Amino acid sequence: MLEPPIITVNTVLSLLAVDYPANKLSCYVSDDGASPLTFYALLEASKFSKLWVPFCKKYGIQTRAPFRYFSSELVSSNDNSMEFLQEYRKMKERYEELRQKIEDATLKSMSYELSSAEFVAFSNVERENHPTIIKVILENKETRPDGLPHLVYVSREKHPRHPHHYKAGAMNVLYVGSGIAGLQGPMYGGTGCFHRRKVIYGLWPEGRMEIKGRRKLTDERLEKTFGNSKEFTTTAARILSGLSGISHCPYDLLNRVEAAQQVATCSYEYGTSWGTKIGWLYGTTAEDILTGMRIHAKGWRSTYCQRDPPAFLGCVPSGGPVSLTQRKRWATGLLEVQFSKNSPFIATLTAKLQFRQCLAYMWILSRGRRSIPELGYIALPAYCIMARSHFLPKLLGLSKTIFEVTKKDQSTTPVEDNDKDAGRFTFDESLIFVLATTLALLHLVALVAASIGPSHVGIESRIGEVICSVWLVLCFFPFLTGLFGKGKYGIPTSTICKSAALALLFLACIITRERKNDFNMTFTKLDELKIIIKLLS
């Protein structure tokens, strides 16, 4: 998980405290890395939730994530009564204790906790090689609407020899695991999207299955489609048959753990339709785009719902390597979808994907290819400055515009920040940083050349290119500061050398081209002079 444990805990607490009947709500936390720290944080959060959830429902708290609630101004519907203030202070102290416990566990790497009975399953596990681990942390056995919802920790089996299919594989395990518990409601799968289970299970809007034909849902057909778990095929058959709601007899989650562990193994999906015709689709790292497009291609319609404030907030990567690697993964996945049998054009011709939807998907899928012209546009201002040429239309008069630098008011009030390194860009020796560093150096050299260039070629004649180059320098400012940074906040020397070599190569090409043009221009002028002499003679 990319999110820190405290962020995961706050997300879980906000969901457990939502204003909804607890017997119709369940929270499943997927942890592909099988981190004992995440499980420990959820255990401590479950203890705090027994105080936090009643507090939120008693006073109608709208901001249900504790770290957001306690960091904002105190607002109460009860005019800040003494009873509320006492419980508020008590709740804030308990949350600080929870936060401190999780922080201490993070610093100690959980080595002292693995010996306890609850953490035996986490001993000797590796991030990419571990068995299935499912833990029921909270269970609403009485199915009381005013109780606490189910809270289940799920870490599916991972093995180096078996593909895990990234997020799509994890989401399919959650669908099957929660289905075994008898849950039949829609599921929030992240990215601000809810999916109805009958849609994920392969049903078309007209009521037919993904498999052609209208044959009866026999046990053999269900097993071939969904796998050999009798518990899950029973709940799946109820949904596909149009029966809604949870089973009349509430399931005991603890008794269903063994069945859930079976469906979370690497081999369960072999020979089934998971990932190909039902569930989240495999075959790309942009599984959310592919799954959504397949749903639209069947004729299902999605409804846009933007709440204010947003219901759930995520945590983006703060470091350079993780952030750029994630963007590279998305761009690669989008290209995989665009140039495959799952292309939107094919779905428009062979399925029910509307043409306007096709154009929208093509615009999204082409995001990775836009980097090629963007690279050319980024290098163009520096090239024009060094080559003493223009790329902006002179008919607009941009080269004659008078540019005056005006003094801007700047606040001198110091900003207090508990973490001075928050938001700073981090670097490593990955080749992914070479190109951006090269562009930053290139534009910096171009600006220096423009300021100390020949006097007969003033900066006013290239003001448009200079402005673009300055703007790009500001865009790449984290890389410029990284040239002088230290540790993980500084660009490695090897990356700087590679970037400098590429920048010098680019400049050498410009200089060679300019010398060739000057040479040709000299010969042209000599030829003109000879013609004039002949005419005069």
- CB-based contact 66:13 (threshold 8 Å): yes
What pLDDT, on a 0 to 100 scale, did the predictor assign at position 41? 93
- CB-based contact 151:27 (threshold 8 Å): yes
The percent of residues in the chain predicted with pLDDT above 90, rounded, is 17
Q: Pick the range with the lowest mean pLDDT from 64-73, 105-114, 292-301, 404-413.
A: 404-413
Residue 32 is labelled as binding a ligand: yes
What pLDDT, on a 0 to 100 scale, did the predictor assign at position 422? 59
Mean pLDDT, the chain, rounded, equals 80
What pLDDT, on a 0 to 100 scale, did the predictor assign at position 243? 63
**Which residues 6+ apart lie within 8 Å of 190 measured at CB?**
167, 288, 314
Phi, psi of 88 (to 5 degrees): -60, -50
Strands 150-155, 187-188: pairing is: unpaired
- Read off the pLDDT band of 398 (50, 70, 90): very low
The model's pLDDT over 269-328, given as tens digits with 9 standing for 90+, comes to 898 999 999 999 998 888 889 999 999 999 998 888 777 777 666 677 666 777 788 888
Marked catalytic residue, from 219, 288, 409, 527:
288
What pLDDT, on a 0 to 100 scale, did the predictor assign at position 194? 83
The counts of H helices and E strands in the chain are 18, 5
What pLDDT, on a 0 to 100 scale, did the predictor assign at position 483? 86
**What does the DSSP 8-state code read for residue 126?**
B
Q: Is the pLDDT of residue 163 over 70?
A: yes
Tell me how crowded residue 219 is: count the other CB atoms within 10 A of its CB. Answer: 11
**Which residues 6+ apart lie within 8 Å of 131 measured at CB?**
121, 125, 157
- Read off the pLDDT band of 152 (50, 70, 90): very high
Q: Is the pLDDT of residue 492 over 70?
A: yes
Looking at per-residue confidence, does 237 or 251 come out higher? 237
- Read off the pLDDT band of 363 (50, 70, 90): very high
**What does the DSSP 8-state code read for residue 206?**
T
What pLDDT, on a 0 to 100 scale, did the predictor assign at position 517? 64
- Read off the pLDDT band of 520 (50, 70, 90): low
The model's pLDDT over 432-485, given as tens digits with 9 standing for 90+, comes to 888 888 888 888 888 888 877 654 455 556 677 888 888 888 888 888 888 888
What pLDDT, on a 0 to 100 scale, did the predictor assign at position 99? 92
Residue of 408, 407, 409, 388 whose CA lies nearest to 399: 388
Mean pLDDT, rounded, for 102-124 = 76
Q: What SS3 class is residue 136?
A: strand
Answer yes or no: 288 catalytic.
Answer: yes
Tell me the C-alpha distance between 447 and 469, whole Å: 7
- CB-based contact 167:178 (threshold 8 Å): no
CA 475 distance to own-chain centroid: 22
- Read off the pLDDT band of 534 (50, 70, 90): low
What pLDDT, on a 0 to 100 scale, did the predictor assign at position 295? 92
Give the predicted TM-score (pTM) of the model: 0.73
Q: How far is CA 458 from CA 33, 40, 404, 503, 515, in A?
A: 59, 65, 15, 24, 20
Q: Is the pLDDT of residue 30 over 80?
A: yes
The first and second tokens of residue 61, run together, are 């708290």
